[in-house]
């Protein structure tokens, strides 16, 4: 019997976490093989390897402990990838050479698959004097544009693109431009943006006091704090960005306040980190720890929770020693502090199993109790590790115990830390878990409410037929299995029906016992008033949250997934002829027919002796052509290796289906540091960009896209249109479906689980 609770779970495992060789042949024969691979790898640093491999396997079995995707995909493969999820890079120097050295470090980190965060407040504002060159500074946003272009050209390890977070202090002279940067729909698309909000600023907002914008001790401008706050709120109301990070609160609560100052977070905000800070993530699946769900005896198994947390802490501590790091500075930082981020997923499902209404005061109290129990188990487990293996190198008992977080800890935990030290400087964090939650059977993600009880996804088969699958929330499936078609009780609520302040209540309840932070999106209805919207952020501040991120669907940000009312138990999937025109993806790559139609294009790069010949062949599915393969040929032997590699990679993408127009975007964004060339009256930044232009023109000629710049992401202002159909909205770059929604700061596909940063 399969361990997977839903077909989508097995598909995600196969696509993201299953170990395969370079030719795509599976090495992990089953998910048990994947669990065994990870368990064996993380037990390598132990004295009794066999014992701990067994313990680790039991924690992973049946999706009870879910290490983040980097660990699940990379541990035990022998590949030179980082197992850490996120990094905050070094402080950006306010010099041209320093800025571009920081850019290089970012590229190396993203190449290995790490998401990165940067504080751009250290760069002098636009118009400031640059001594010695008789010029004015271009400002931090101009350099953010350079980072954005870099991110477009770097593909992270595996199938994930790197994600980036940019933050700016609320007192930087360019903060107004930063706040409004995404009003230009083509700008900074690779970044999440957040403003670093200080305690004095919030006091000034409440007092309607003046606020100085300062750099290097010089006051550049003075504004009313409330006016600046309103600009942040208005931009977030209209464009879903920037988020807000309460940076002083983060530093006051930080266990390591005596040894570091935090000025930025990772891309999704759950990890405030110092320069070169790195963190690895993992989640306890609370939905697997409630025996007898939907009965009077339903309760969290606290003994099992304690054991699982203690095992997970040991596993994650071992990752610090098992992982590669993109930069030596990141490795040194990780080893000096041994920071981990153990969180939860399936919280909302677990509450439902107990008959609790997510967002209620009682559910918030239950949540706070669970999170405190996790914190106690994690800290005591780390103390035990310190007895066995030693405390983290920068441990100082006096400074550590004086932190805001440790001051609220139970006295027995404080005494244990004082007596023995602690192995890991920080231990808890709640990360986005969109993909691993689907992998675990579509449990509710992180501490979020259930987003949708059920939705349908269509999968195109190799014969051109289409099957329709129902993806059901884990708790809803358990209810159906137990009670059949009985209607869901009133306490079943979801993200669409919750009041925003109920979201805040749950975030605040969890935050009290999380020593890092929480990635959470507060869903707001489209018709929420601006005043009510602002109240959400003030409530987050007043209730002790470390940050706040909202999502209000509108014409600019797009709408959330459309869901229907809960259906009765799912009927068997049926095949039907694909007569509609939306982009679809394939369960398996298409087999190659014996003959294909296509076109060959000649590209003569200026200055090159030999031309490139690009052949694109198409396959017809349900009467409509789509690209199937590409061949790139040249007599120039210097081109041989990369043209063969490009041929194989692009063809593999084409055969997987979906909206493959992102290939055009990636190629057209590549620039050659030696300079581009003018071709047919246009400046082309590289020969790869020229190839991208050829592919784009071919896609237009066969009707796959409507015109130049109308691919998946090349022009964010364009609405993606299915040929012959109505405007659809944002398309998923992985499966091509039109069910993208913002979850915990990341655009996430409800059909396939694709997430830019999760």
Q: Which residues are catalytic?
A: 266, 268, 270
Under 8 Å between Cβ of 631 and 614? yes
CA distance 292 to 12: 28
Taking the CB of residue 488, how many other CB atoms lie within 10 A of it?
16
CA distance 579 to 189: 34
CA distance 269 to 473: 26
Cα–Cα–Cα angle for 291, 294, 295, rounded to 5 degrees:
80
For residue 269, which of 215, 199, 331, 343 has the smallest C-alpha distance? 343
* CA torsion angle 749 752 756 758 (round to 10): 110
Structure tokens at 351: 């509450």
Taking only Cα atoms into account, the Rg of the chain, rounded to an integer number of angstroms, comes to 26
| 607 φ/ψ angles, rounded to the nearest 5 degrees | 90, -10
Query: DSSP letter string over 379-425?
Result: HHHHHHHHHHH---TT--HHHHHTSHHHHTS-HHHHHHHHHH--S-S
Burial grade of 564 (CB within 10 A; 0-12, 13-18, 19 or more): exposed
Under 8 Å between Cβ of 248 and 546? no
Structure tokens at 274: 């110092």
Helix (H, G, I), strand (E, B) or coil at 133: coil
Burial pattern 570-605, b for ≥16 Cβ within 10 A else e, equals beeeeeeebeeebbbbbeebbeeeeeeebeeeebeb
Under 8 Å between Cβ of 86 and 273? yes
User: Which residues have a Cβ under 8 Å from the Cβ of 679 and sit 6 or more positions away?
Assistant: 606, 690
CA distance 252 to 250: 6
Under 8 Å between Cβ of 754 and 733? yes
Structure tokens at 462: 């190799």
Structure tokens at 726: 């109505």
Pairing of strands 115-119, 86-88: parallel
Taking the CB of residue 469, how many other CB atoms lie within 10 A of it?
17
């Amino acid at each position: 019997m399969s361990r997977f609770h839903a077909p989508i779970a097995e598909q995600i495992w196969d696509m993201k976490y299953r170990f395969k060789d370079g030719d795509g042949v599976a090495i992990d024969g089953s998910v048990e093989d994947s669990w065994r691979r990870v368990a064996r790898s993380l037990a390598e640093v132990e004295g009794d390897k066999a014992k701990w491999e067994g313990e680790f396997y039991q924690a992973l079995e049946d999706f009870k402990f879910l290490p983040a995707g980097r660990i699940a995909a990379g541990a035990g493969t022998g590949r030179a990838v980082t197992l850490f999820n996120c990094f905050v890079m070094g402080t950006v120097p306010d010099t041209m050479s320093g800025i571009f050295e920081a850019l290089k470090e970012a590229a190396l980190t993203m190449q290995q698959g790490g998401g990165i965060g940067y504080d751009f407040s250290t760069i002098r504002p636009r118009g400031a004097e640059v001594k010695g060159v008789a010029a004015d500074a271009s400002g931090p946003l101009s350099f953010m544009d350079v980072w954005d272009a870099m991110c477009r050209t770097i593909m992270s390890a595996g199938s994930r693109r790197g994600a980036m977070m940019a933050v700016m202090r609320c007192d930087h002279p360019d903060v107004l431009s930063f706040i409004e940067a995404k009003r230009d729909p083509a700008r900074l698309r690779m970044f999440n943006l957040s403003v670093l909000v200080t305690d004095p600023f919030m006091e000034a907002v409440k007092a309607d006091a003046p606020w100085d914008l300062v750099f290097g001790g010089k006051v550049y401008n003075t504004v009313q704090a409330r006016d600046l706050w309103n600009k942040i709120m208005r931009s977030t109301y209209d464009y879903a960005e920037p988020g807000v990070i309460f940076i002083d609160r983060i530093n006051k609560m930080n266990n390591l306040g005596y040894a570091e100052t935090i000025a930025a977070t990772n891309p999704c905000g759950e990890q405030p980190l110092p320069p070169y800070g790195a963190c690895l993530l993992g989640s306890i699946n609370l939905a697997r720890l409630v025996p007898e769900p939907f009965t009077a005896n339903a309760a969290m198994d606290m003994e099992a929770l304690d054991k699982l947390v203690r095992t997970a802490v040991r596993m994650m501590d071992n990752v610090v020693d098992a992982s590669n790091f993109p930069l030596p500075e990141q490795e040194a930082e990780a080893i000096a502090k041994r920071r981990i981020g153990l969180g939860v997923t399936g919280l909302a499902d677990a509450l439902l199993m107990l008959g609790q209404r997510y967002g209620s005061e009682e559910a918030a109290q239950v949540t706070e109790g669970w999170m405190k129990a996790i914190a106690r188990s994690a800290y005591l487990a780390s103390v035990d590790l310190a007895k066995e293996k030693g405390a983290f190198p920068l441990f100082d008992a006096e400074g550590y115990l004086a932190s805001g977080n440790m001051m609220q800890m139970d006295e027995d935990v404080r005494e244990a830390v004082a007596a023995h030290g602690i192995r890991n400087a920080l231990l808890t964090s709640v990360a986005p878990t969109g993909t691993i939650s689907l992998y675990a059977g579509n449990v509710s993600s992180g501490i979020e409410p259930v987003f949708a009880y059920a939705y349908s996804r269509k999968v195109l088969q190799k014969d051109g037929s289409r099957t329709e699958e129902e993806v059901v929330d884990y708790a809803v499936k358990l209810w159906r299995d137990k009670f059949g078609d009985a209607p869901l009780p009133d306490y079943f609520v979801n993200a669409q029906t919750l009041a925003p302040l109920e979201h805040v209540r749950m975030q605040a309840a969890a935050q009290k016992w999380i020593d890092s932070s929480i990635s959470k999106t507060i869903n707001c209805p489209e018709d929420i008033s601006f005043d009510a919207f602002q109240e959400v952020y003030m409530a987050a501040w007043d209730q002790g949250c470390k940050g706040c991120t909202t999502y209000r669907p509108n014409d600019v940000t797009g709408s959330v997934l459309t869901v229907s009312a809960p259906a009765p138990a799912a009927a068997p999937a049926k095949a039907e002829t694909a007569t509609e025109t939306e982009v679809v993806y394939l369960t398996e790559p298409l087999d190659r027919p014996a003959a294909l139609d296509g076109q060959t294009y000649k590209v003569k790069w200026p200055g090159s002796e030999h031309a490139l010949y690009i052949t694109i062949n198409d396959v017809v599915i349900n009467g409509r052509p789509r690209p199937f393969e590409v061949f790139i040929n040249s007599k120039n032997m210097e081109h041989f290796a990369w043209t063969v590699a490009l041929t194989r990679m692009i063809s593999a993408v084409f055969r997987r289906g979906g909206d493959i127009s992102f290939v055009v975007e990636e190629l057209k964004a590549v620039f050659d540091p030696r300079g581009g060339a003018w071709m047919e009256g246009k400046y082309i930044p590289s020969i790869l960009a020229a190839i991208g232009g050829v592919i784009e023109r071919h896609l237009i000629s066969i009707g796959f896209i409507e015109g130049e710049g109308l691919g998946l992401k090349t022009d964010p202002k364009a609405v993606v249109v299915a040929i012959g159909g109505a405007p659809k909205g944002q398309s998923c770059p992985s499966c091509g479906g039109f069910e993208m929604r913002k979850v915990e700061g990341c655009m996430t596909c409800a059909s396939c689980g694709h997430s830019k940063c999760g």
